[in-house]
Amino acid sequence: MKPGRPLVTPRRTGALRPPAPPLVSAQGGVPPRAAANRTAVALLVAVVAVVAGAGAAGQGRTVWDGVYTADQARRGAEAYEQACAECHGADLGGGDMAPSLAGVEFVYNWHGFSARDLFERLRVSMPPAQPNRVSRREKADILAFIFEVNGMPAGDAELAGRSGPLGAIRFLAEP
Ligand code: HEC
C-alpha cells in the first residue's frame, strides 16, 4: 500500500473502481504471481529432493523387498482360484485366451511400472465380466499371490490395496 494515498477518495467521489492493489509491490518489484510460481517451484524441488532422498535411504522399494506377507498370498491364492484361475490357469500359466500371470514374459511386460499400475489393471478390468465382484482387498491379496508365484519374497507387512503405498513400489522383473 502506497503511503499517503487517500483511500476513501474513490468511494466519496462515486468512482466505480476501487483502488487497484499494487501488482508490482514494494517487495523488490516481484509481481505476486511470479512470487507464487517461485514458491511452487521451490516446493516441487523440495518434494523431489525428499522422494530422491527416500530412495537413497532405501525406501525406494521394489517388489523384491518383501512387500506382502505369506498369509496374504495364501488368501490371495484362494481368491485367485475362485475368480481368475478358470482363464489364467491354476498355475498362472495362462489359457487359450488369457495371458500368463507368471514367468519371464509377464514380468518383463510390467518391468519398470509400479505395483499400482499392475493393481489398477486388475482392479479396473478383472475378472472382465464383473470387475467389482472381487473386492479391492481381495485383489491386493491376489497381487501378493502373483508376486509369490513370480518368486518375489514375502515380508513382514501386508500389501495395501491403496494407491499411495502401491505407487511407491516399483515392479522390476529381477531383483
Ligand atoms: C473370463 C476370463 C478371465 C478371468 C476370469 C480373468 N481374466 Fe485376467 N485377463 C483375461 C484376458 C482375456 C486378458 C487379456 C485381454 C484383456 O486385457 O482383456 C486378461 C488380462 C489380465 C492381466 C494383464 C496381464 C498382462 O500382462 O498384460 C492381468 C494382470 C489379469 N488379467 C489379472 C486377472 C486377475 C487377477 C483375475 C481374477 C481377479 C482375472 N484376471 C480374471 C481374462 C480373464
Q: Which three three-digit cell numbers place residue 57?
A: 535411504
Q: Is the CB of 172 under 6 A from ligand 1?
A: no
18 or 165: which carries more pLDDT confidence?
A: 165
Mean pLDDT of 30-53: 57
Give the pLDDT confidence score for residue 44 in this predicted structure. Answer: 57
- Proportion of the chain above pLDDT 70, given as a percent: 66
Best residue among 84, 97, 136 to mutate for probing ligand 1, ranked by most atoms within 8 Å of CB:
84
Q: Is the CB of 127 under 6 A from ligand 1?
A: yes
Q: Does residue 69 have a pLDDT over 90?
A: yes
160: CA distance to ligand 1 center in Å? 21
8 Å CB contact between 94 and 103: no
Q: Which residues of 6-33 are buried (b: 16+ CB within 10 A; e: fewer)?
A: eeeeeeeeeeeeeeeeeeeeeeeeeeee
- Proportion of the chain above pLDDT 90, given as a percent: 66
Domain ranges of the chain: 9-59, 70-167
Q: Is the CB of 107 under 6 A from ligand 1?
A: no
Give the pLDDT confidence score for residue 60 in this predicted structure. Answer: 86
Give the pLDDT confidence score for residue 34 in this predicted structure. Answer: 59
CATH topology of domain 70-167: Cytochrome Bc1 Complex; Chain D, domain 2 (1.10.760)
Which pTM value belongs to this model? 0.74
**Ligand 1, atom nearest to 143 Cα:** 35
Q: Which of 75, 73, 99 is nearest to 87 (CA)?
A: 99
Which amino acid residue places its CA nearest to atom 28 of ligand 1?
A: 122
126: CA distance to ligand 1 center in Å? 5
The pLDDT-based confidence of 9 (bands split at 50, 70, 90) is very low
- AA identity, residue 145: F
Give the pLDDT confidence score for residue 54 in this predicted structure. Answer: 45
- pLDDT tens figures, 119-157: 999 999 999 999 999 999 999 999 999 999 999 999 999
| Cα–Cα distances in angstroms (integers) from residue 143 to residues 4, 53, 72, 135, 149, in the given order | 69, 28, 9, 12, 10
- pLDDT tens figures, 52-68: 544 444 458 999 999 99
48 or 39: which carries more pLDDT confidence?
A: 39
